[in-house]
């Protein structure tokens, strides 16, 4: 009678091992090779040949007549084509580079017109950055690539008052789906160095950025540590929104009284921070969670 159960257990173990092997194979593509052809082949193996993924080669020239091939990879739609031309292609192609073998990456970084450029030598991390809307730049002969932060936010909706929390008096802005914009909305209201933001990536596949916001000195440090620990214990393939986070960290999921609150208003969130609460922002979701939620607050909302 136990044979069907054992068979299911064996099949499950085989499936888990298969998934682990695929994951290990993905992780083994580290670091970058010095050969541009090999790097491009590995990128296409992981990212595929989807029409929105752009692989573009072009040469950069040096003053002594030498040239090196460069490969840029980005996702069309997350990165604007016009921005690539103006911020990457034009600065690198217009003028030749000085012949300096020791610091070629520094020369390229100085010429790029981007808000941030970072070096990356690990393949898997670079792929994750491309999927998040960054541009990857690789140079023939170098095992280190450049992550260029020129992602576009034009597709995001305007910062406007949330429909579910209309106010007669006060601010008329609200959180949106970008955690970067939401953080800036909080910083505009609390311009103090004690305002802290910690980022945690959750989701083996989705790699969703979860931001913990609190004011150091006002928030309970033990509660901050507990929140950070709870979030770190979430082991799933993907996070779809703040509702998933709430279910995972809820103290009493079957209680009729919630211990986690939520808001879409930056002014309300800022007031909660000044009261010593902790905010949890989910990238891609305008709903901000906060802890703890007291019973008196629920009566006010009602």
Whether residue 90 is found in the same domain as residue 133: yes
What torsion do the CA atoms of 153, 238, 247, 210 make, to the nearest 10 degrees?
-40
Say what percent of the chain tops pLDDT 70. Answer: 84
Whether residue 222 is found in the same domain as residue 111: no
Q: What pLDDT sits at residue 48?
A: 80
In a domain, 251, yes or no: yes
In a domain, 128, yes or no: yes
Reported as a pLDDT band with limits 50, 70 and 90, residue 68 is: confident
Domain count, the chain: 2
The arithmetic mean of pLDDT across residues 155-183, rounded, is: 83
Whether residue 172 is found in the same domain as residue 264: yes
Whether residue 176 is found in the same domain as residue 140: no
Whether residue 66 is found in the same domain as residue 92: yes
Least confident of 15-24, 76-85, 95-104: 15-24
Q: Whole-angstrom Cα distance, residue 130 to residue 136?
A: 6
Cβ atoms within 10 Å, residue 266: 23
Helices 36-47 and 123-131: crossing angle, nearest 10°? 50
The arithmetic mean of pLDDT across residues 135-147, rounded, is: 92
In a domain, 1, yes or no: no
Domain stop point among 148, 172, 193? 148
Q: What is the per-residue pLDDT across 180-212, written as a single tens digit (0 to 9) for each? A: 889 989 999 998 889 999 999 999 888 899 999
> Whole-number mean pLDDT of the chain?
83
Q: What pLDDT sits at residue 7?
A: 46
pTM > 0.85: no
Q: Whole-angstrom Cα distance, residue 300 to residue 68?
A: 65
Least confident of 11-20, 62-71, 174-183: 11-20
Whether residue 297 is found in the same domain as residue 169: yes
In a domain, 154, yes or no: no
Whether residue 253 is found in the same domain as residue 289: yes
Q: Whole-angstrom Cα distance, residue 217 to residue 207?
A: 30
In a domain, 189, yes or no: yes
Least confident of 20-24, 122-126, 139-143, 276-280: 20-24
In a domain, 46, yes or no: yes
Domain stop point among 114, 148, 182? 148
Q: What pLDDT sits at residue 159?
A: 82
Q: What pLDDT sits at residue 18?
A: 47
Whether residue 130 is found in the same domain as residue 200: no
Q: What is the per-residue pLDDT across 216-273, written as a single tens digit (0 to 9) for each? A: 999 999 999 999 999 999 999 999 899 999 999 988 777 777 789 999 999 999 999 9
In a domain, 273, yes or no: yes
Q: What pLDDT sits at residue 156?
A: 63
Least confident of 66-70, 154-158, 266-270: 154-158
Q: Whole-angstrom Cα distance, residue 129 to residue 146?
A: 11
Whether residue 136 is found in the same domain as residue 173: no
SS3 state at 257 = coil
Residue 5 has pLDDT above 70, yes or no: no
Cα distances (angstroms) measured from residue 231 to each of 101, 112, 125, 130, 222: 45, 36, 21, 25, 14
Residue 12 has pLDDT above 60, yes or no: no
Reported as a pLDDT band with limits 50, 70 and 90, residue 299 is: low
Whether residue 118 is found in the same domain as residue 179: no
Residue 24 has pLDDT above 50, yes or no: no
In a domain, 206, yes or no: yes
**Phi-psi label, residue 32: left if phi above 0, alpha if psi -120 to 50, beta otherwise:** beta
Whether residue 167 is found in the same domain as residue 297: yes
DSSP letter at 111?
H
Residues 6 or more apart whose Cβ sits within 8 Å of residue 77:
52, 152, 155
Higher pLDDT residue, 66 or 75? 75
Residue range(s) defining the domain that contains residue 64: 31-148
Report the half-sphere exposure of 154 (CA within 13 A, side-chain side): 10
Q: What pLDDT sits at residue 153?
A: 59
């Amino acid at each position: 009678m136990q044979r069907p159960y054992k068979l299911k257990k064996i099949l499950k173990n085989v499936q888990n091992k298969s998934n682990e092997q695929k994951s290990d194979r993905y992780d083994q593509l580290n670091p970058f090779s010095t050969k541009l052809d090999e790097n491009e082949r590995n990128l296409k193996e992981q990212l595929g040949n989807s029409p929105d993924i752009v692989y573009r080669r072009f040469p950069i020239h040096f003053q002594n007549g030498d040239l090196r091939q460069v490969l840029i990879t980005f996702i069309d739609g997350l990165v604007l084509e016009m921005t690539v031309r103006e911020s990457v292609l034009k600065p690198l192609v217009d003028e030749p580079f000085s012949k300096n073998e020791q610091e070629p990456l520094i020369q390229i970084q100085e010429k790029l017109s981007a808000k941030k450029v970072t070096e990356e030598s690990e393949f898997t991390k670079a792929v994750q950055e491309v999927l998040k809307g960054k541009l990857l730049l690789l140079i023939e002969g170098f095992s280190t690539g450049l992550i260029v932060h020129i992602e576009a936010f034009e597709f995001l909706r305007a910062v406007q008052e949330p429909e579910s929390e209309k106010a007669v008096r006060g601010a008329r802005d609200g959180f949106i789906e970008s955690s970067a914009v939401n953080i800036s909305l909080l910083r505009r209201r609390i311009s103090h160095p004690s305002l802290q933001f910690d980022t945690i990536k959750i989701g083996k596949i989705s790699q969703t950025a979860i931001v913990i916001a609190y004011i150091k000195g006002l928030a309970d440090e033990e509660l901050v540590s507990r929140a950070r620990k709870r979030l770190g214990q979430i082991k799933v393939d993907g996070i779809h929104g703040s509702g998933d986070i709430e279910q995972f960290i809820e103290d009493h999921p079957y209680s009729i009284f919630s211990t986690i609150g939520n808001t879409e208003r930056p002014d309300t969130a800022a007031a909660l921070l000044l009261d010593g609460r902790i905010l949890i922002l989910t990238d891609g979701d305008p709903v901000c969670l906060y802890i703890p939620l007291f019973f008196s607050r629920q009566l006010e909302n009602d």
